[in-house]
Structure 1
């Protein structure tokens, strides 16, 4: 008989409650519009408990960003083994691109991006946290993948990190820009996302696909 999952500890429940409240408060009121006193009250914990768990408002926000962007950064892990032959490249990268678009193009993540951009002049560390835990994390995993595929002769990528950045923004840049500027109604449909993913992969493989 399989072991049952252990019940969540009181500390873990409080940690999650604070993060859940922080997401609602930050996205609604902005970074400067949220106080630790208010977070504590709405989370049902003491102010000292909030500080015990996170240390500061900045650190709380950084952890919130990390938790909100985890899905986008972990796309490769969900795809299984990387391509072993050239015919597997396009399907693999297309699945990756579709999953990235699905994970990133959500109203809550677009709202988070708008919040961070609005505060970047006063709080550049917030933008740094979003960049590090969002696109940069994805680019690091893509770099490792592309490097391995190049070593195996499946891609021609003398500069794997540049190739990873190129592919990442081929997939995401236009869609994110439209959603950021035009609102959630501009988030592409699932069908449009699939079409865009396939085109981004076609362009990427035209540039980096092996000639062998």
Structure 2
């Protein structure tokens, strides 16, 4: 019977490598989102991070491994955001207040942060990395839709709304709240504060339409 030795040092990473990794990943995220996968080189990433190309290869094997690390990190962030919104909605007792608040949050996220650039990147690279597109849907919008369906079922059981098909109703809610704004954001690269305000207002009106359509 053989015993494999365990080296506690395997869990240790040189702080210099940790710092380099953080710089490289932050820079890579910016460059990949701006230029896409084919338009980005390791030289571009090294320059944006302010490190040598050798340093990049000391931390990551190649561009693909770095891209996978960036997308994985972005998916984790999207999942956490979606989970927080989902929990808040499921635990709410006031249907109108909860759904209006959710609509506003979703609209703000459409034109804020890296949600739209990330979606553009995943759509553009879906043929090269199909697993990422599927995983993003399941862990981000898919999680929100599932949670909204659960919340709608709860609102129906408490007599606040009339929901015969929670999954279909969740789709109606999502498209009324952010469908048009998401389309605009995906195809119109330049956005401003006025566009963001308009998206939030559109979301509030969409939530109001949904609440009237599904009222008891």
TM-score bracket, normalised by the shorter chain, equals 0.7 to 0.9
Aligned CA-pair RMSD: 3.5
1:134 aligns with 140
The equivalent residue for 1:102 is: 108
Distance (Å, rounded) in 1 between the aligned partners of 2:131 and 2:182? 21
- Unaligned segments of structure 2, at least 5 residues: 1-13
The whole-number CA distance in structure 2 between the counterparts of 1:12 and 1:163 is: 46
Matched, 1:159 2:178: no
Secondary structure of the corresponding residue to residue 143 of structure 2: helix
Cα deviations by residue, 1:100-120 (Å, 9 ceiling, x for unpaired): 111222263222222222223
| C-alpha separation in 2, matches of 1:129 and 1:35 | 25
1:120-199 superposed matches below 5 A: 120-185=126-191, 189-199=195-205
Bigger mean CA offset, 147-156 vs 163-172: 147-156
The answer as to whether partners of 2:42 and 2:56 remain within 8 angstroms in 1 is: no
Give the structure-2-normalised TM-score: 0.71
Structure index of larger Rg = 2
Q: CA, structure 1 residues 14+138, in 2 after alignment: closer, same or farther (shift >3 Å)?
A: farther
Match of 2:74 in 1: 65
Q: When the two structures are superposed, what TM-score results if normalisation uses the length of structure 1?
A: 0.72
User: Is the 8 Å Cα contact of residues 37 and 47 (structure 1) preserved in structure 2?
Assistant: no
How far is the alpha carbon of 1:204 from its aligned partner? Answer: 1.3
2:121 is matched with 115
CA contact 1:61–1:126 (8 Å) conserved in 2: no
Q: Give the one of 93, 96, 112 matched to 2:99.
A: 93
Give the CA deviation at 1:188. 5.2
